[in-house]
Chains A and B, each alone.
Chain A
């Protein structure tokens, strides 16, 4: 957040394209960080110190928790502290929120089926790092980092992540392609349908009888269990660093949290670079006005497909991390609630603002997995008849959604641009009702016949002024 203030003037000098140039750009960005930090410190010292302290505390927290706080909370006094699992999931959902923010926040394409990509990412990891495929005669044990001899495919996590990104991005483009013409609510429902179908496919492909003979291809499946059905696939290999011999599984304490932090930081870096790139500006342009963007030469088809594909790929990373970390994946985990949970995260944090959505994801994950169960436990101990709030978490999230849309649609850490756009909701009641511009101070309708108009060239109205919104127009996101 500290570098937000200076983000406008950091456009890098024009450099070439390709991977080398991109690495060049990254190194320039990283090299520029101390300077930007000093500038932010000069501009807003208090805010910068606060953010620095919070970030540093966050970075040492997993260590503190494991060596001190957890035992304190267990033995001395119970505190609502997130444990390693919750923290890892905070990072997983942070990655997903950053990804959904690209589709829904930057490009303005409301995706209600984001869970589909999460599921695909998880199953990619499950297929490529488990004994599962040995049942179909596919054994690639020599690829394993943890010693040969195991049946099935055991790719290292570091190779699975790029594979998951490619696979999920392909599915994102596949979903994007037929929906290019759709806008707003229709798009939302189509993505919702996609998000329901994908987990159902994983759930139902547990007893497939099918045969295909096509030249050299000769496939015969009789009662084949392709996806594990409701039981899912387990065990899935944990991420593993070979030279240091570090596993990142659910029993590895704070280690997977730091793996999650690294992946989240990479995700944020990618998303930030995309946001300020040509494609990022194109996304924002089609979000604002698709027709106008097209007139200005934006290739809307390519832009939207890239939004879907790139946005989805983040969920692929999240899914791969989840399956590898938990060592298992089941179809029932991936339901509509997850899509909505990620949506609430980005709305809560501030749709369009990368740091906002990350904070939203961490906060909501904390409330869901740590605070509500803690509250529920305290209530059960002291007053056992009362309802357990952890069972009604989606009641609370539903209410959060209602209140956010009503009173703070731009979120708690809004992007400045979105805030300006959404402030049309905050029009005075008379203005919203009648579509008549009103005086900003008194709320009275303006007398349009006697309005003072500055002579040409002397207008006080800057380039940011917008025409009064006409109700019924511009309803699309």
Chain B
């Protein structure tokens, strides 16, 4: 039992990171019906940027701009993490927006699979950019968080919640809530929803379609960047090919929840986190990817609208 609870906790932390990436997929699909294959690689670039900012200079292999070790005093640590988040988010947001502007916008009226193929090409380009900057070997950082079990204070010893898992929640949950608020309550969010429903009608009503799509990619890139920072601090490892696995997990999450549906993406990501953790623990890590792909195929074939349904029925 303790083991199961521990697995669920691990899955929850991973699911929250998936959620940040999944939102980028689901927003873009909702608005321009494009499976943005390169999104996982934007996340990978984000985690590499965070690695170079955070890893110490000599031994760590990073640039050491905000050198972070377990010995760094806590206030400084928080300041460095916030600064890293800000820089990474800014860079990946602009990167994602630039990708849309240069690669996808010219193909907006092309047959549907043309931008998908372009996105695959972009994914390869970004992967190789990562390869150029970080090399073919995985890059690891030191775990900066204390390893104490926070539940020990409550007398629970069978399973644990660590500071790093709390950190994941502290960064991701406000972002998820903030995004939901942004889309539901702001004027720009309304423009996004209108564009998702019917781009032509929204354009006629005075919504600047191009700007709205750009902002969607901006936000998606920002969330992917944040996920990249969280992932390097939580898992302490990054690699140029990380985006493929992470991206497909997150895309599966978005489809599971009902693509185009923000809450669905978060729900799907949390479920996918459980699938990953349970499979890693009880089946074998080697089979986890196959199981995730099996889930993806199963949903797409048998329930393409996902758990919470999608806004438009004719998309599958």
Residues of A within 8 A of B (CB): 110, 112, 178-179, 181-186, 188-190, 193-194, 196-197, 200-201, 203-204, 336, 340, 343, 347, 387, 391-392, 394-395, 397-402, 405-406, 409, 422, 424-425, 427, 432, 469, 471-472, 474-477
B127 on interface, CB distance cutoff 8 Å: yes
Shortest beta-carbon distance from B158 to chain A in Å: 29
* CB < 8 Å A-B pair total: 149
Beyond the given A398-B120, A475-B33, A475-B111, please list 5 additional residue pairs across the A-B interface where CB-CB is below 8 A.
Answer: A193-B300, A398-B124, A399-B125, A405-B121, A409-B110
Give the residues from 96 to 119 in chain B that come closer than 8 angstroms, CB to CB, to chain A.
Answer: 103, 106-118
A406 and B112 within 8 A (CB): no
Top-4 shortest CB links A-B = A401-B121, A398-B124, A395-B128, A475-B112
Shortest beta-carbon distance from A192 to chain B in Å: 8
Alpha-carbon gap, A469 to B108, bound state (A): 13
Alpha-carbon gap, A295 to B48, bound state (A): 53
Cβ of A472: which chain B residues have Cβ within 8 Å of it?
109, 199-200
A193 and B296 within 8 A (CB): yes
Shortest beta-carbon distance from B26 to chain A in Å: 14
B182 on interface, CB distance cutoff 8 Å: no
Cβ of A188: which chain B residues have Cβ within 8 Å of it?
35, 113, 116
B251 on interface, CB distance cutoff 8 Å: yes
Alpha-carbon gap, A185 to B286, bound state (A): 27
Cβ of A189: which chain B residues have Cβ within 8 Å of it?
35, 251, 255, 296, 300
Cβ of A409: which chain B residues have Cβ within 8 Å of it?
110, 114
Cβ of A400: which chain B residues have Cβ within 8 Å of it?
121
Cβ of B293: which chain A residues have Cβ within 8 Å of it?
193-194, 196-197, 200
Known contacts A397-B124, A401-B117, A392 near B131 by CB under 8 Å? yes
CB-nearest residue of chain A to B210: A433
B112 and A395 within 8 A (CB): no
Known contacts A182-B300, A186-B304, A402-B103, A392 near B132 by CB under 8 Å? yes
Alpha-carbon gap, A432 to B109, bound state (A): 7
Interface extent on B, as a size class?
A: 35 or more
B177 on interface, CB distance cutoff 8 Å: no
B297 and A190 within 8 A (CB): yes
Residues of B within 8 A of A (CB): 33-35, 103, 106-118, 120-125, 127-129, 131-132, 199-200, 244, 248, 251, 255, 284, 286-287, 289-290, 293-294, 296-297, 300-301, 304, 315-316
Task: Kindly identify which residue among B111, B121, B132, B251 contacts A474, using a CB–CB cutoff of 8 Å.
Answer: B111
B114 and A405 within 8 A (CB): yes
A-B contact pairs, 28 of them (CB 8 A): A110-B117, A181-B301, A182-B316, A185-B34, A185-B113, A186-B300, A186-B304, A189-B35, A189-B296, A189-B300, A190-B297, A196-B293, A200-B287, A200-B293, A204-B287, A336-B244, A395-B129, A397-B121, A398-B122, A398-B125, A399-B125, A401-B117, A402-B103, A409-B114, A432-B109, A472-B109, A476-B112, A476-B113
Cβ of B111: which chain A residues have Cβ within 8 Å of it?
422, 474-477
Task: Kindly identify which residue among A190, A196, A398, A427 contacts B128, using a CB–CB cutoff of 8 Å.
Answer: A398
A184 and B120 within 8 A (CB): no
Alpha-carbon gap, A189 to B300, bound state (A): 9
Alpha-carbon gap, A296 to B182, bound state (A): 48
